[in-house]
Structure formats: structure tokens, C-alpha cells
């Protein structure tokens, strides 16, 4: 994938697709940015969007703010394809023109395809993905219209009545609940068996510093504390939030700066994708992280709600395979559900130590990709951030192996 007015490296993505009616195609202007896809077949087949770095002029940025931004395919016969909703997120205040463009490529010919970025005449049809918080700013929700999709607990969540023990500790910086297509709760928080388990969270049971070890995973001596909610985004393609936290050693000394971005995409084709990006930067020398016993859980931890008829399925290619797929799913009927719901987890091939080993505990409804490699500690060096990316795909019904492979391929499209 390449972008004709690109200002930064291309970003990739896989998401649920949506093509809304935008009326007739518009004439092509020579100065409008053009996104060129090497091959959109994988993304279009599984109703998945692409993300690309672009630079937009003031008119196009205004259209983006009014949900009028679109892309129009430049067909081989010189004609224009239908207009497809698009969304733009600025990269930063220093250059408001530079940022990321996202859209859902429609079905089309294999091989290279070109899409011109344009301003539509009216806002996108359908529900708008929204991001917002409660009055106190403690819980941030990404919604599809008025339907919650993801709840991120930025502020501290107290221990509920009836839950006790040394691991029942108030906490923040995690996702719960993750919602299913019918509004089902797909994650579990404050379980009596493991009260430190908290939906979807990114933490390590072995966090080392100055020759000592603390447990960020089990909330023993190391805690993620909120610093700043940097930004949130709403639009026809996705809603997103970016939060900053610090890991506090003994709840006193900051040792790691964490930046978490969560992006929930619009549902289409019966599927919804949620992207997670974590950037960890050491604030002190000598910080290391590892899984439990350097052979078990740790990293992107996922405690799901109970499932009736639960199945856990992993798809892992052997070393040397090109590409080397690493994906998994947990599927079953959640509490209050009318049928099975699948949650697939896709690993980014760009992650260090890829692929992370899969760890599952069926009795705990637990499935996760671990980090780092078994038998190792990973050093967080000052000035050298660690970036980890994952995607969840939620749909009613089970995903078969070919579908998991196609979703992974679309997510990891170069």
C-alpha cells in the first residue's frame, strides 16, 4: 500500500467493513490525494478496512470534521467507482494536515487499485461511531451509535462487595466490558476465584527493577496509574481513545510510561474489529518484564465471561512459513446470549518476539497471546519504546480456520 501525498510510514489495519450510500460519484480533481493499494482482495473479502498515512488540505479536513470525507475508486476505464465513507485522524498538532485515513475497500478487481480522497456533499449515512466518558471521566465508552462496544476504565474501579483476599485490589487501565453483537458482556471483572483478573488488560506478572520483582498483573507492588486522556475520535468508520498511564513501583516511583490506543470500528458483515496499540517507554534504567515463571501468562491478558459450549481454537503456522499466521478464538454462548459469539485475537507480525505463544485456561475462560518469548526477560530501555499491537474480531457464530487466516492476512497486509 502506498499513498501519493504521504507524510509518514503506512499503517495497516483490519476491521469490519461498511459502505454507505453517498449518491453519485464526483469529478476527479488533479490535486486530490490518491491512496494506492497493492492488493485490496484480502481486506474486501473479509469486510475489512485499510489505514494509510496521508496529508489533507483544509477543505478535506473540514469535510472529515463534518463526516463528509470519502474515497472514490479510479477504475481502469477512467470512470469513477461509488463513493465510500472515509475518516481522518490528525497525527498531531504540529502538522494538522498529516494523519491517518481509514476506509473500507469495496469488492473489486485483484491487483493494484487507486482511490481518490474527496469531500462528499452530505454526511455519511448510518450510525456514527462515538467516543465519550461518564461525568467524572473515569469510564470511557466507544459506541456504535447509542450501543456501547468497549468500556475503558481510566479511573479507579473499587473492589465490589463480596470479593476479598490479597488480590482484591482497586485498579484502573483496563477494558471491561467488551460487548457482543447483541449487547452481551464478553469479559469478566473481579472474579471471586482470581479477583485481580480484569477483562482485557496489558500487564506482566514479573516486572523487574533494581534487582527486585513486582507483579503488575496481580496488582502486587506495581500499579498502572492514570496520567492523561490524550484524545478521542468519533466518525463513520471508527471511534477511538488514547490514554497515558504510568507504572508506579510500590505506588511511588514511576518506572514506565504507557500509551494505550483503543480503536473500535463500525460493524458490517456481522463482524466488528477492535484494535489495540500499546507503547511502553522506560523512565528508569534496568526495567524488565516477563511472563509468569517465564513460561506462562503475561502480556495482553484476556479474561472472558463464562461460555456455554465453549471452544478455544488456535491457528499457528510452523517456523519458516511465509507468511506465518498466528490467530486464535474463543467461542460459546455468553451469559444472556441467544447463541454462540466468537472473539478472535490476531497478533501483529510487527510485534517483537512474534509470534507470542498462546496460553489458555478453559476453566477460567482465558485465552491470550503472551509476550515476551518463553524463557526470556524483555528489557525496556530508556529512549527505545516497545510497541505491541493486537486486533480482536467479534461476531455471532464460530469462525472457521480459513476465515481466521483471511482476517489475519487483512490485518497484516503490508
| Domains assigned to the chain | 2-119 (no CATH), 129-405 (2.70.98)
Chain centroid, CA 258 distance in Å = 15
Q: Cα 311–313–316 angle (5° rounding)?
A: 170
Closest by CA position to 99, among listed 11, 231, 34 = 11
Residues 6+ apart with CB under 8 A from 280: 256, 257, 258, 380, 385, 386, 387, 388
Higher pLDDT, 78 or 143: 143
Q: What is the pTM of this model?
A: 0.91
For residue 45, name the pLDDT band (cuts at 50, 70, 90): confident
Q: State the pLDDT at residue 92.
A: 77
Q: φ and ψ at 41, to 5 degrees?
A: -60, -50
Sign of CA dihedral 280, 286, 291, 292: negative
Pairing of strands 206-209, 287-290: antiparallel
- The 3-state DSSP composition of the chain as helix, strand, coil percent (nearest 5) reads 5, 45, 45
Reply yes or no on whether the pLDDT at 191 is more than 70.
yes
Q: State the pLDDT at residue 190.
A: 99
Reply yes or no on whether the pLDDT at 13 is more than 60.
no
- Could you read off the pLDDT of 106-135 as tens digits, one per residue? 988 888 899 999 999 999 887 799 999 999
Amino acid at each position: 500500500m502506498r499513498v501519493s501525498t504521504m507524510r509518514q510510514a503506512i499503517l495497516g489495519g483490519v476491521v469490519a467493513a461498511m459502505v454507505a450510500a453517498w449518491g453519485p460519484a464526483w469529478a476527479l480533481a488533479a490535486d486530490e490525494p490518491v491512496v494506492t493499494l497493492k492488493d485490496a482482495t484480502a481486506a474486501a473479502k473479509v469486510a475489512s478496512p485499510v489505514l494509510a498515512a496521508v496529508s489533507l488540505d483544509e477543505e478535506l479536513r473540514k469535510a472529515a470534521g463534518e463526516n463528509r470525507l470519502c474515497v472514490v475508486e479510479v477504475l481502469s476505464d477512467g470512470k469513477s467507482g461509488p463513493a465510500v465513507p472515509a475518516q481522518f485522524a490528525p497525527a498531531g498538532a504540529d502538522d494538522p494536515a498529516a494523519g491517518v485515513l481509514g476506509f473500507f475497500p469495496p469488492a473489486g478487481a485483484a491487483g493494484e487499485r487507486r482511490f481518490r480522497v474527496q469531500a462528499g456533499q452530505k454526511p455519511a449515512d448510518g450510525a456514527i461511531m462515538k467516543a465519550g466518558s461518564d461525568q467524572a471521566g473515569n469510564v470511557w465508552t466507544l459506541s456504535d451509535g447509542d450501543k456501547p462496544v468497549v468500556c475503558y476504565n481510566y479511573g479507579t474501579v473499587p473492589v465490589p462487595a463480596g470479593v476479598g483476599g490479597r488480590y482484591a485490589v482497586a485498579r484502573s487501565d483496563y477494558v471491561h466490558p467488551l460487548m457482543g453483537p447483541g449487547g452481551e458482556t464478553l469479559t469478566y471483572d473481579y472474579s471471586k476465584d482470581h479477583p485481580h483478573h480484569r477483562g482485557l488488560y496489558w500487564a506482566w506478572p514479573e516486572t523487574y527493577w533494581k534487582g527486585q520483582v513486582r507483579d503488575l498483573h496481580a496488582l502486587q507492588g506495581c500499579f498502572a496509574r492514570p496520567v492523561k486522556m490524550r484524545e478521542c475520535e468519533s466518525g463513520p468508520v471508527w471511534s477511538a481513545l488514547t490514554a497515558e498511564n504510568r507504572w508506579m513501583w510500590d505506588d511511588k516511583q514511576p518506572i514506565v510510561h504507557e500509551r494505550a490506543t483503543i480503536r473500535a470500528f463500525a460493524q458490517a458483515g456481522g463482524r466488528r474489529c477492535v484494535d489495540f496499540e500499546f507503547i511502553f517507554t522506560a523512565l528508569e534504567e534496568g526495567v524488565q518484564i516477563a511472563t509468569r515463571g517465564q513460561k506462562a501468562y503475561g502480556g495482553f491478558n484476556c479474561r472472558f465471561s463464562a461460555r456455554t459450549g465453549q471452544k478455544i481454537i488456535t491457528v499457528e503456522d510452523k517456523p519458516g512459513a511465509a507468511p506465518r499466521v498466528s490467530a486464535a478464538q474463543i467461542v460459546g454462548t455468553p451469559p444472556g446470549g441467544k447463541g454462540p459469539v466468537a472473539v478472535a485475537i490476531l497478533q501483529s507480525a510487527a510485534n517483537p518476539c512474534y509470534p507470542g505463544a498462546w496460553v489458555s485456561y478453559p476453566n477460567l475462560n482465558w485465552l491470550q497471546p503472551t509476550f515476551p518469548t518463553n524463557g526470556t526477560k524483555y528489557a525496556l530501555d530508556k529512549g527505545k519504546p516497545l510497541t505491541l499491537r493486537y486486533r480482536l474480531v467479534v461476531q455471532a457464530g464460530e469462525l472457521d480456520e480459513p476465515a481466521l487466516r483471511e482476517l489475519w492476512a487483512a490485518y497484516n497486509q503490508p
